[in-house]
Amino acid sequence: MRLNINSFIDSNPISVRNEDNLSDYFLIDKQVSDLLKSYGGCSFSNGLFRIHSFETMQKWQRIVESSFGSYKGNFLLFGFDWAGRQFGKQIDNEVIYLFDINFDEVYKLETTISDFFNIDLVDFKEETINSNQFFNLKITLKFNEIAGLKTPLKLGGIASQENYEIIDSEVDWEINEQLKSL
């Protein structure tokens, strides 16, 4: 069955599309493979949500598995949101994981990948990815950028409009990774 995320695409315009070389592309999970083949490298609604290219998925797979080692080999990343939270599908199961380095937490979303895009990110996008907070910032993010916290939560920062800044997603993840031990 072909992956259908048309409701998500209809309600979130593609802001940027980065081309990816998919000639030798293969993934263990057909749904993630179809998603990356069709929309890999796309940024939606000025950076509200991005779908990994094959290249960025591989890079972030290593980074997230390093941060959340107990999940290594159990998921395939497919995208990330404006705040740098990474999303992956459990291999051979209909479970979506949300990896949040700011809270050092992994959340399990009991949904299919199609429903995640067509229901969670359409009808419940505020609850799922805090979309209003993003739109209130009135920013446009490049593919590798996120809205990170100037003062991280672990150092007493709060998720307020004044505490966000545009930052490279990998730099933000590394800062928060180093703060995990506090």
Instruction: Give the residue with greater pLDDT, 25 vs 96.
Output: 96
Residue 86 three-state SS: strand
Tokens of 152: 């991280």
Share of the chain above pLDDT 70, in %: 92
CB within 8 A of 100, min separation 6: which ones?
85, 106, 107
- Counting DSSP H helices and E strands in the chain, the numbers are 7, 9
Domain boundaries, the chain: 6-179
> 161: burial class by Cβ within 10 Å (0-12, 13-18, 19+)?
exposed
Each residue's pLDDT tens digit, 95-109: 999 999 999 999 999
Cα–Cα distance, 134 to 49 (Å, whole number): 10
pTM: 0.89
Would the pLDDT of 156 be above 60?
yes
Tokens of 165: 């800044």
